[in-house]
Chains A and B, each alone.
Chain A
Amino acid sequence: MISRHHFCVIVSLMLTYSPSAFSDAKISGIVQLSAIGADSEESFIDGGTGRLLYNDDGIHLSQMFFVFSGDITDTLSTQIVGNHTQTPESRTGLTQAFLRYKPIPTSNYHWEAKAGSFYPALSFENVDIGWTSPFAYTNSAINTWIGEEIRINGLELSLSRKGNRRNNIPHSFSALLGVYKGNDPAGTVLAWRGFALHDKQTQLNENLPFANYPSIQTPPLEQQNDYVDVFREEDDRYGFYVGGHWNYKRKSKLRYYYYDNQADPLRVSSGQYAWHTKFHSVSWLYRPIKNWRFISQYLTGTTLMGPNAVYLGYESYYVLASYKQKKHRLTTRIDRFGTFNKNDILPEDDNRSQGTALTLTWRYAIDKSWQIGAEWTKIESTQNSREQFGKDKALNQEQFMLILQLRY
């Protein structure tokens, strides 16, 4: 499997280079405890249909990860992110591991390359270490899904034209191209569960569970497991993405990506189908004045599995406003999301859903290491597949969290 192959490369690199071989090796990370007033709807992670990660009140270890970064040469560096999760069970693994080659520019055009397992830089939300968000604790519906099912196991090349004041050019541009393998089952979880809201990132060899819907227990979908092995390679085809960044100073930034895993939807093995998943993503960051920032992202795409067995459209956007005053940060975000059937041949497997979510977050940085915070999330949604369990398709959830975070 491709992702395991990358582990071998990275691990052997780590063994070959003793820590002293890295001129600037650094380990950082976050340990985060959350006291959660949970919604009682059983979470998808435990085989339920809830969109949130927790359904028990109590104190949970909600994040625990490390980020190792080291320079192998002056222009070649590595970053490895590993986390420990307790949902659904205790498990430790890697979420990212890549090499970055960034030569010294010789003109106003800069290029760089990335190889390994990493996220495409779709949004302005997950810009803190380890691809976490410094704004809300719970990711947007879009980036919850990206953290669950999208990871690049491959190569990315980017070419940038930097603007600067010397040339009186306040605009800078980048063009990006990614080629990868794996990620064939991406889209599975959107089909039955729909979008979710949490901060769990799937480890590179982790299975992501969802409810065992009656429609996947019976033909013709009986080969589908009630989990997704997200980063699996099924068909030996290459996926790709293209991206463009446009920055106006550091005031306004726009990003567009088109992702297509080019999977062969007729392939199935070990209970996992290949899903032909493609989407467009547009993100915008706007910082009108120093203490304020607005972030928005829109994502729309389709995923196809089997001989038109599941043909799903999906769409989501969010608008986030964040205000920082000294050690306080206040964030509010509204998410809209939906999935819709696109003339597939199995009307009894109804994958339609829609929803709205509101998230309010307060964070207080006590010092460089310690942070406390609170967050309230409310989701109003429908998920037609819940009717397979005799449940109402309406799914309204609410969650409150108090957070203690340690950075090291």
Chain B
Amino acid sequence: MNTSRIPLSFIFLAITLLGIVETTHAAPISTSFTIFDAENTPVKDAVIQLISKNPTPPSTTRKNELSQKDKQFTPFVLPIQRGTSIVFPNYDDIQHHVYSFSGIKKFELKLSKDSKANPITFEKPGIVPVGCNIHDWMLAYIYVVDTPYFSTTNSNGSATLSLPSDGEYLIKIWHPRLPDENVNYTKEGITKIVAKDGTTKVIALNLTISTGSDADEDIDEFEDY
């Protein structure tokens, strides 16, 4: 297919995979991924998860934080492992009223400055859009994954995952602008990767992602009536 004929609303997403092996079979493998779109622009906030048939429990406990600052959520996309929890610190001087009506997890939290909200635990895998009832534009995504091996891409489009050993993994990629209508766990782009000694692979995925950068979602300094 010739990419120049693709309608503007679709961009191909390609993944560059760099498998870096430390030493032997038993040592952990640090694996870097970089995601670019068809225009070679790095894709930020994509969730990468690797699924192994024999997963090991997570060796480190992550600090999962969905904070509010300057009337925006940080991070925009927060992946967490199923069964773990998130805290919601408010760094603004004003209140936020954070909520989700997702079938994966419904909750609401009224958060004042420095208020200590109890952590919320997520038991079901899936995507949880989070909003604020005071600031309608505030939006974030919690992605509850069912694997210990996951990360989001940074502004360079890259993410590094630590794998316990080489072997076969299933890779799943998700991004908020992937046109995945139902919030189920099945429609991500899936392919298999094999992490092996010193290999570099480029895997092209036929994922369609809608155009538009997060930059044009900048907030208006003036609110409404």
- List the interface of chain A (C-beta within 8 A of B): 23-24, 71, 74-75, 102, 104-107, 110, 118-119, 121, 126-128, 131, 134, 160, 162, 164-168, 170, 249-251, 287, 290
Contacts and interface: CB of A to CB of B under 8 A. Distances in A.
B185 interface: no
Contact of B97 (A74, A131, A167): A74
Sorting the interface of chain B by its residue count into under 10, 10 to 19, 20 to 34 or 35 or more gives 20 to 34
Contacts of B47: none
Contacts of A71: 95
Interface of A is mostly: loop
Nearest to A119: B225
A207 B108 CA distance: 45
B136 A104 contact: no
Contacts of B95: 23-24, 71
Contacts of A250: 137, 217-220
B220 A168 contact: no
19 contacts: A23-B95, A24-B94, A74-B108, A74-B110, A104-B133, A105-B131, A119-B225, A126-B225, A127-B223, A127-B224, A128-B222, A131-B225, A134-B222, A165-B139, A165-B176, A168-B179, A249-B212, A249-B217, A250-B137
A354 to B, nearest CB: 30
Contacts, number: 68
Nearest to B139: A164
A164 B181 CA distance: 12
Contacts of B177: 165, 168
Interface in B87-134: 94-95, 97, 99, 101, 108, 110, 112, 127, 129, 131, 133
B133 A75 contact: yes
Contact of B225 (A23, A102, A121, A165): A121
Closest 4 CB pairs of A and B: A127-B222, A121-B225, A24-B95, A165-B176
Given A23-B112, A166-B183, 9 more contacts: A102-B133, A104-B101, A104-B108, A105-B131, A127-B223, A164-B139, A170-B212, A250-B218, A251-B216
B156 interface: no
Best-buried of A160, A166, A287, A290 by chain B (most CB within 10 Å): A166
B141 interface: yes
B126 to A, nearest CB: 12
A104 B225 contact: no
Contact of A168 (B94, B101, B210): B210
Interface in B168-186: 176-177, 179, 181, 183
Nearest to A133: B222
A118 B225 CA distance: 9
B68 to A, nearest CB: 14
A165 B138 CA distance: 12
Contacts of B110: 23, 74
A285 to B, nearest CB: 9
B143 to A, nearest CB: 11
Nearest to A324: B221
B64 to A, nearest CB: 20
Contacts of B97: 74, 104
A166 B176 contact: yes
B101 A105 contact: yes
Contacts of B139: 164-166
B211 to A, nearest CB: 10
Nearest to A162: B136
A110 B79 CA distance: 27
Contacts of B218: 250, 290
A112 to B, nearest CB: 9
A29 B57 CA distance: 55
Contacts of A168: 177, 179, 210
Contacts of B210: 168
A168 B181 CA distance: 8
Interface string B148-188: 00000000000000000000000000001101010100000
A360 B99 CA distance: 43
Given A121-B224, A168-B179, A250-B137, A106 B219 contact: no
Nearest to B108: A104
B43 to A, nearest CB: 13
A324 B136 CA distance: 24
